[in-house]
Chains A and B, each alone.
Chain A
Amino acid sequence: MAIFTIYIINKAGSLIFHYDHQKTRPEMEKTFSYPLELILKVFDDRIVVAFGERDGIKVGHTVLQINDVPAEGRFLKDKRDILEVLASEENYPLSIKFGRPKLTSNQRIMLASMFHSLFAFGSQLSPESHSSGIEVLETDTFKLHCQQTMTGIKFIVIADPRQSGTDILLKKLYEIYSDFALKNPFYTLDMPIKCELFDLNLQTLVEQSERLGLNVM
């Protein structure tokens, strides 16, 4: 039972707020000898596992660090090219840490506008008339709940598939937004929300609804 992330998207489709509640991206560290049993490739300016799942390392995981030197894109922090380091035999044995790629803020902005258009497609492709956009989207690892207000702002909660009470959470989120963001004289409409009181209240709300969900079950 968990709430992972909260996003708020304005009516134009840009991300104005995000909050990560649980930072649980799995990471695996393992020592490798030459030659590497995994097939790696460059994707999105990162080194990604393309084939060869083993010991908890999955396809799609990226190289996070090698011998305790963190990776920065395709290079290590000491400016060496990761693929070159991995290709030369004299560097082995190497201890490599793999994990699911973390979302950068640019990617979050992109994903938010992507959802904005998916939401519109969902209502357009409806077999029945007067359909709303996507309200709940379900996968095997998470459930996305989305509520659009009358003014076009979307509140998105990404939670565990078994998490209950998300309807109330969405409603309360809107309440907190109108109380602490909209009533803040220094807040400009449709701009990113940077209000301390809003952050604080949101955090307590999320923790509360996580516990509440447990009680209901």
Chain B
Amino acid sequence: MTVFNLYIFGRNGNCLYYTEWNRKQHLDMEKDQEYKLMYGMIVSIKSFVSRISPYDMKDGFQTFKTNKYKLHFYETPSGLKFIMNTDLSVPNIKDVLQQIYSSIYVEYVIKNPLHVLGAPITSDLFKTKLDDYVRGLPFFPVKVS
């Protein structure tokens, strides 16, 4: 069990924050390019899913998995997008992403008067709080086997 990385996107598609823990493969492209690719993929998936769904949706797209990783997606009504990549054994972690939003992002970014809304997050406090929270998750440790 492990967590690979986390992306936070603002409502107009800019990457507010990116961090990684146990990522093994890096794309040979600029980080900016990678964020754009990721955001583009998520937006396309959202549109794809809403059109192909046989019923009206509430939450819409939640996760997808390949044979190596699982991507978890959570979007707030204000358009903020949280994307976390984990390995396949991790169950549905919607509540974890919600927790990151409500008790870390809101507390240490929104309540910080120095933060400019929509700009990348530079706060060290946010960084350490997020890191502590994710490292404390039950599915964080890398399996020793």
Contact = CB atoms under 8 A, between A and B. Distances in A.
A142 B67 contact: no
A127 B23 contact: yes
A129 B65 contact: no
Contacts of B63: 137-138
B54 A139 contact: no
Contacts, number: 120
Interface of A: 4-5, 22, 24-26, 58, 60-61, 100, 103, 107, 111, 114-115, 117-118, 121-142, 144, 158
Interface stretch (B33-41, B102-110, B115-123, B133-141): B33-41
A121 B48 contact: no
B93 to A, nearest CB: 12
Interface residues of B, number: 39
Nearest to B26: A127
A124 B36 CA distance: 13
A122 B37 CA distance: 10
Nearest to B29: A124
A115 B69 CA distance: 18
Interface in B54-103: 54-69, 71, 85
A213 to B, nearest CB: 17
Contacts of A127: 4-5, 20, 22-25, 69, 85
Given A139-B60, A140-B59, A125 B54 contact: no
B25 A126 contact: yes
B53 interface: yes
